Chains A and B, each alone.
Chain A
Amino acid sequence: DAKTTQPTSMDCAEGRAANLPCNHSTISGNEYVYWYRQIHSQGPQYIIHGLKNNETNEMASLIITEDRKSSTLILPHATLRDTAVYYCIALQTGANNLFFGTGTRLTVIP
């Protein structure tokens, strides 16, 4: 699976959009980009995933660059409950497991 690089931490004002970048320059054609988040002392929670098209669901939007070397997770209106560590993972179809990097610690500030 391709390695991903994320900023260590970010702050976001409550109510504003949180844009979390992820670099995956070595991603291969059959690897999806997955985003999970982990709120303190809980198991990771699935957020969204995509291959090459932009995706949106009730939690977030995922913007993937045309060359697929990077992506951005967007939380449109961040709340205090969105404070968590966000993990970007490149996952090959049929892969057996997820390997987690260090992720981005997002702090939503009142």
Chain B
Amino acid sequence: GAVVSQHPSWVICKSGTSVKIECRSLDFQATTMFWYRQFPKQSLMLMATSNEGSKATYEQGVEKDKFLINHASLTLSTLTVTSAHPEDSSFYICSAGGGIGEGGYTFGSGTRLTVV
């Protein structure tokens, strides 16, 4: 079945530094990938839609200059959290369409970001 690989699974970084998270579709091509953020005991919140070869589309309230998204190929999207602060600590999850009939989505295993 469709597999989405997300790396790293967890990362701890110092406040003010940047962190890059990778999301790869392993056995299918994804022109579109999605990035979610999840705070403790809350549901997933869509941050942005990553489009291969073009600019990402950000949800309202998500700072595009802080959360840089690059989708340079049909199998790779990256999310860079720039100048991270403790309030950016969260669980980040990517997903890609395809692999499940009628528009289903496959999710990565998530990245736990802790900013200290």
**Are A and B bound to each other?**
yes
Chain A contact residue count (CB 8 A cutoff) = 26
**Does the CB pair A100–B112 fall under 8 Å?**
no
Once the chains are docked, how many angstroms separate the CA of A54 from the CA of B100?
A: 17
**Does the CB pair B107–A44 fall under 8 Å?**
yes
Chain A stretch 74-110: residues in CB contact (< 8 A) with chain B? 87, 91-103
A32 contacts across to B, CB distance below 8 A: 102-103
**Does the CB pair A41–B95 fall under 8 Å?**
no
State whether the Cβ of B77 lies closer than 8 Å to any Cβ in chain A. no
State whether the Cβ of A65 lies closer than 8 Å to any Cβ in chain B. no
**Does the CB pair B91–A100 fall under 8 Å?**
no
Given contacts A41-B112, A46-B104, A98-B105, 20 further A-B contacts (CB under 8 A): A32-B102, A34-B104, A38-B44, A43-B107, A43-B108, A44-B44, A44-B93, A45-B107, A46-B100, A46-B105, A49-B101, A51-B102, A91-B102, A91-B103, A91-B104, A96-B32, A96-B49, A98-B34, A100-B45, A101-B43
Shortest 8 CB-CB distances between A and B: which pairs? Answer: A43-B107, A100-B44, A100-B43, A44-B107, A43-B110, A43-B109, A43-B93, A97-B34
Give the interface of B toward A (CB within 8 A): 4, 6, 32, 34, 36, 43-46, 49, 91, 93, 95, 97, 100-110, 112
